[in-house]
Chains A and B, each alone.
Chain A
Amino acid sequence: MLKTFKLGGVHPPENKLSADKKIEILPIPKTVFIPVAQHIGAPATPTVKRGDEVKVGQIIAKSSSFVSTNIHSSVSGKVKKVDLSGDSSGYSKQGIFIDVSGDEWIEDIDRSENLVKEFDLDGRKIVQKIQDAGIVGLGGATFPTHVKLVPPKGMKAEVLLINGVECEPYLTSDHRLMLEKGDEILVGTQILMKAMNVEKAVIGIENNKPDAIKLLSEKVKNYKGLSVVALKVQYPQGGEKQLINAVTGKEVPSGGLPIAVGAVVSNVGTAFAVYEAIQKNKPLFERVVTITGKGVANPSNFKVRIGTATTELIEAAGGLPENTGKVISGGPMMGRAIASLDIPVTKGTSGILLMPEQESVRGDYISCIRCSRCVSVCPMGLEPYLLMTLGEKHVFDRLEDEKVMDCIECGSCSYTCPSNRPLLDYIRFGKAKVGQIMRSRKK
């Protein structure tokens, strides 16, 4: 029996079109737009101005508080302007426009491909270096990694979970990374274990990637304290709380952090970024992005410089299909539909998904027939039909009692509703309102 999480879950068609496409390097664009807020927390403060010359890997915006990160230039060239432009959130955000010339890297970076296994930094120095390198959770949540590595007072991490689940349909960037950079990910994992002072790390991989499971299961034999767990193909297996539950059997308490059950979760992409930062002195300025969709000529996995416009990726994959109706940054279950193809790849961009017109527009919805499918698929044990009604009717105190804040917004309820009801839309609205009320109560 494969391990899985205990409550709910759905199994949307996997559509991993780009699973056997090797990671290719996307040509450097002529211009980039690098937002200063690519992470959860305070935006970084720009340290460059118009006309400045920058190199690849140079800091161009500095972390402004503990929960924030540095932003590094992904290209070499001249700063065109520091200005507002749209990002995947749909809002205009501050960022740095750079006109590219050449590809000159700062000297500290080791650009060789050879594997470096040994490291002798102590935990504190590792955390510092991760912070300097601007590393955030690359699974999509973009929470600054150095913050996770320092547990709150009185709490101790016992196990590190490396998330290689990639439960979102279509996306394959983590899958390819595990196949092509397996050792690097494992060394990165060991570095993270040292930083957190834990003895044990488990890599969780969904069972639809048997090649990655086989490869990493072989490789972990050479590393101390590492193991690989195959997980049932069930969305949202890669949700932080679901992964912890599937691997350790423990439940993160309602409203609590994973550290409350002694677990810290990092994505495989993050582990790879940590490897590069510590062993190669390379800050985070590029990542693997899947470009995919049913109409796409060449679904691919590209290594992309941060700040590259979406349109460049689309061109490299064979151009925008005629019938494209929607472009999604991320996967189809939790990704964001973007309004413009100029939006840049940021640290959290795991994929770009092009949806044909006929799949882009939502159909009408009809009455709830109380089939209770939303209740049975909710991985948090909530009652989405009820939360939607309470949201519609603005019954916020009741929403709080019904644990609306536990919702992880995985979308399983909306996905599964036979009446096509926009359950998650109203739940998000309710969460936002209840969050406001809770914050105002604390003041």
Chain B
Amino acid sequence: MNKLLTVSPSPHVHTNDTTQKIMYRVVYAMLPVLVWSVFVFGLDALRVTLIAVVATLAFEYLIQKYLIKIKPTITDGSALITGILLSFNVPSNLPWWIIVIGALAAVGIGKLSFGGLGANIFNPALVGRVFLLISFPVQMTSWPVNTQSGVDAVTAATPLGVIKESILNGVPISDIIGKLPSPVDMLIGNIGGSLGEISAILIIIGGLYMLWKKVITWHIPVAVIGTVAVIASIFWLINPEVYINPVYHLLTGGLMLGAVFMATDMVTSPMTPKGQIIFGVGIGVITISIRLFGSYPEGISFAILIMNAFTPLINNYVKPKRFGGKQ
């Protein structure tokens, strides 16, 4: 019998789960949010997402093929996620060339300059977003009013912008509360803002889907949202005329989007549950600090990027419980 047999070390079986499948599950989880953004902002939202996705994939392909000279990995799904997330983080009326610049910053600086998938320290979509926020502050903060309640071209401040203004100008909360949308509108997403951040409920549904499919664990989202809720509540209880009801902090701005879809990015978050909780609490503390005391109305992007930088350190010091270690 001369049959040639394959010889390799054990294990000889492998789960049929793949990195690509995990990535596409994240994409599926984001679809309801995308559909809602089209419903609210019209086809402009679709335009932004398509430009972001195509630009992200194109830059990944071109840089890998012609600059780094390796086999392009655009089919693994990670660049697709970056593109969608980038579009979720910008207003729907953003000019196309700004989106393209954002995609280049996200993929080129945020991902490939570190060595590509798995090697990047910072969340690529957030690198793109913050790059744009600093470079094009006007365009990045003019929000279209949602099409159902008014005219397309009108822009208005987001709820967080209104709140920040009241803090900075010393206007009591009772004077501005009427200008803010109702909590129900905020929950459903009948408010202004970036494409993907408006509907808290759809983001939570996406998060639950990812939990069910074991793409993420509960630790990071719960730690982020819980920390913001606790700190915002404490300040609100101390002085409700200066600090707004924590419900507004939870349901407006990018908190939900950040906590569920961006802080949970596997590559840039810690490996152990304990480390993930430290990471999430850190994001929560920085976010609410910027919102209450900083000059920007919103702080989740910066908070996640700052904690991304701490991830290697957390991994180094927070170890899983060893079997047979010190009891």
Contact status B11-A383, CB under 8 Å? no
Complex: A334 Cα to B18 Cα, angstroms: 22
Complex: A114 Cα to B60 Cα, angstroms: 73
Contact status A252-B324, CB under 8 Å? yes
Complex: A385 Cα to B270 Cα, angstroms: 13
Contact status B271-A375, CB under 8 Å? yes
Mostly, the A contact residues are: loop
Question: Is B6 engaged at the interface, CB distance under 8 Å to the other chain?
Answer: yes
Question: Is B14 engaged at the interface, CB distance under 8 Å to the other chain?
Answer: yes
Contact status B19-A415, CB under 8 Å? no
Question: Is A212 engaged at the interface, CB distance under 8 Å to the other chain?
Answer: no
Contact status B21-A418, CB under 8 Å? yes
Tell which of B1, B9, B11 has the most Cβ of chain A within 10 Å.
Answer: B11
Q: Which of B32-47 contact A (CB under 8 A)?
A: none
Partner of A375, one of B6, B9, B10, B320: B320
| CB proximity of B67 to chain A, nearest CB, Å | 18
Complex: A416 Cα to B11 Cα, angstroms: 10
Contact status A381-B15, CB under 8 Å? no
Tell which of B268, B319, B320 has the most Cβ of chain A within 10 Å.
Answer: B320
Question: What is the chain B residue whose CB lies nearest that of A416?
Answer: B15
Contact status B271-A366, CB under 8 Å? no
Contact status B9-A428, CB under 8 Å? yes
The interface size of chain B toward A, counting residues with CB under 8 Å, comes to 40
Question: Is B73 engaged at the interface, CB distance under 8 Å to the other chain?
Answer: yes
Complex: A229 Cα to B127 Cα, angstroms: 54
Question: Is A169 engaged at the interface, CB distance under 8 Å to the other chain?
Answer: yes
Chain A: number of interface residues, binned into ranges: 35 or more
| CB proximity of A250 to chain B, nearest CB, Å | 9
Q: Which of A388-443 contact B (CB under 8 A)?
A: 403, 406, 409, 411, 414-420, 422, 424-425, 428
Complex: A379 Cα to B116 Cα, angstroms: 30
Contact status A254-B19, CB under 8 Å? no
Contact status B323-A379, CB under 8 Å? yes
Tell which of B17, B19, B315 has the most Cβ of chain A within 10 Å.
Answer: B19
Complex: A414 Cα to B12 Cα, angstroms: 9
Complex: A372 Cα to B7 Cα, angstroms: 28
Contact residues in A for B118 (Cβ distance below 8 Å): 367-370, 419
Interface string of A183-202 (1 = CB under 8 A from B): 00000000000000000000
Question: Is B13 engaged at the interface, CB distance under 8 Å to the other chain?
Answer: yes
| CB proximity of A366 to chain B, nearest CB, Å | 6
Interface string of B1-32 (1 = CB under 8 A from A): 10101111111111101110110000000000
Contact status B117-A367, CB under 8 Å? yes
Contact residues in B for A381 (Cβ distance below 8 Å): 320-323, 325
Question: What is the chain A residue whose CB lies nearest that of B319?
Answer: A383
Question: Is B211 engaged at the interface, CB distance under 8 Å to the other chain?
Answer: no
Partner of A371, one of B6, B10, B12, B266: B266
Question: What is the chain B residue whose CB lies nearest that of A255?
Answer: B324
Contact status A372-B21, CB under 8 Å? no
Contact status A372-B272, CB under 8 Å? yes
Mostly, the B contact residues are: loop
Contact status B14-A420, CB under 8 Å? yes
Contact status A415-B320, CB under 8 Å? no
Contact residues in A for B12 (Cβ distance below 8 Å): 326, 328, 332-333, 335, 337, 353, 355, 359-360
Question: Is B327 engaged at the interface, CB distance under 8 Å to the other chain?
Answer: yes
Partner of B10, one of A10, A252, A334: A334
Q: Given the known inter-chain contacts A320-B3, A370-B266, A418-B18, please indicate yes or no for A425 contacting B323, CB distance below 8 A.
A: no
| CB proximity of B206 to chain A, nearest CB, Å | 18
| CB proximity of B279 to chain A, nearest CB, Å | 12
Question: Is A327 engaged at the interface, CB distance under 8 Å to the other chain?
Answer: yes
Complex: A415 Cα to B19 Cα, angstroms: 13
Question: Is B63 engaged at the interface, CB distance under 8 Å to the other chain?
Answer: no
Interface string of B305-327 (1 = CB under 8 A from A): 00000000001000111111101
Contact status B9-A383, CB under 8 Å? no
Contact residues in A for B22 (Cβ distance below 8 Å): 369, 371, 418
Contact residues in A for B116 (Cβ distance below 8 Å): 367
Complex: A256 Cα to B326 Cα, angstroms: 13
Question: Is A253 engaged at the interface, CB distance under 8 Å to the other chain?
Answer: yes
Tell which of A10, A13, A245, A372 has the most Cβ of chain B within 10 Å.
Answer: A372
Complex: A252 Cα to B13 Cα, angstroms: 28
Q: Given the known inter-chain contacts A251-B327, A382-B322, please indicate yes or no for A425 contacting B6, CB distance below 8 A.
A: no
Contact residues in A for B327 (Cβ distance below 8 Å): 251
Contact residues in B for A1 (Cβ distance below 8 Å): none
| CB proximity of B270 to chain A, nearest CB, Å | 8
Contact status B322-A337, CB under 8 Å? no
Partner of A383, one of B3, B7, B17, B271: B271
Question: Is A150 engaged at the interface, CB distance under 8 Å to the other chain?
Answer: no
Contact status A415-B15, CB under 8 Å? yes
Q: Given the known inter-chain contacts A245-B323, A369-B266, please indicate yes or no for A385 contacting B7, CB distance below 8 A.
A: no
Question: What is the chain B residue whose CB lies nearest that of A235?
Answer: B11
A-B contact pairs, 22 of them (CB 8 A): A254-B323, A254-B325, A324-B5, A325-B5, A332-B12, A335-B10, A337-B8, A359-B13, A369-B22, A369-B267, A375-B271, A380-B324, A382-B320, A386-B315, A406-B322, A409-B10, A418-B18, A419-B18, A419-B19, A420-B14, A424-B10, A428-B9
